[in-house]
Structure 1
Amino acid sequence: MSPSKPTRRKVLAWAPGAALVASLRAARAEPAPGDDGLYHEPWFLQSFLDLREDLDSAAAGGKRLAIMWELRGCPYCRETHLVNFADADITKYIRDNFEVLQLNLIGSRKVTDFDRQELSEKDLAQKYGIRFTPTFQFFPPSSGGIEAKEPMAREVTRAPGYLKPQHFLAMFRFVREQAYERGSFRDFLATNG
Structure 2
Amino acid sequence: MKREVLLLSRRCAIAAMGLGLLGLHATPAAAKAKLGEDGLYQMDWYLESFLDLSEDLAAATAKSKRFAVMWGLKGCPACKRMHEVHLMDPAVEAYIRDNFEVLHLNHVGARTVTDFDGRKLGEKALGEAYGIRFTPTIQFFPEQTTGLAALSGQAREVARMPGLLDPAAFLAMFRYVREKGYETAPFPDWLKKQV
Q: Which residue of 1 aligns with 2:122?
A: 120
The Cα shift of 1:164 comes to 1.3
Q: Which residue of 2 aligns with 1:158?
A: 160
Q: Which residue of 2 aligns with 1:33?
A: 35
Decide whether the 8 Å contact of 2:68 with 2:102 is kept in 1.
yes
Decide whether the 8 Å contact of 2:30 with 2:89 is kept in 1.
no
Counterparts of 2:159 and 2:14 in 1: how far apart (Å)?
50
RMSD: 2.5
Q: Residues 32 and 41 (structure 1 numbering): CA distance in 2 closer, same or farther, change over 3 Å?
A: closer
Q: Give the alignment partner of residue 192 of structure 2, picking from 177, 181, 190.
A: 190
Equivalent pairs, count: 180
Q: Residues 117 and 29 (structure 1 numbering): CA distance in 2 closer, same or farther, change over 3 Å?
A: closer
Q: Which residue of 1 aligns with 2:179?
A: 177
Q: How does 1:131-150 map to 2 (within 5 A)?
A: 131-150=133-152
Q: Give the alignment partner of residue 69 of structure 2, picking from 31, 52, 67.
A: 67
What SS does structure 1 have at the residue aligned with 2:37? coil
Give TM-score scaled by structure 1 length: 0.85
Identity between Structure 1 and Structure 2 (%) = 52
Q: How does 1:2-41 map to 2 (within 5 A)?
A: 16=15, 27=29, 31-41=33-43
Decide whether the 8 Å contact of 2:32 with 2:43 is kept in 1.
no
Q: Which residue of 2 aligns with 1:4?
A: none
Any unmatched runs of 5+ in structure 2? 1-7, 19-25
Give TM-score scaled by structure 2 length: 0.84
Q: Which residue of 1 aligns with 2:103?
A: 101
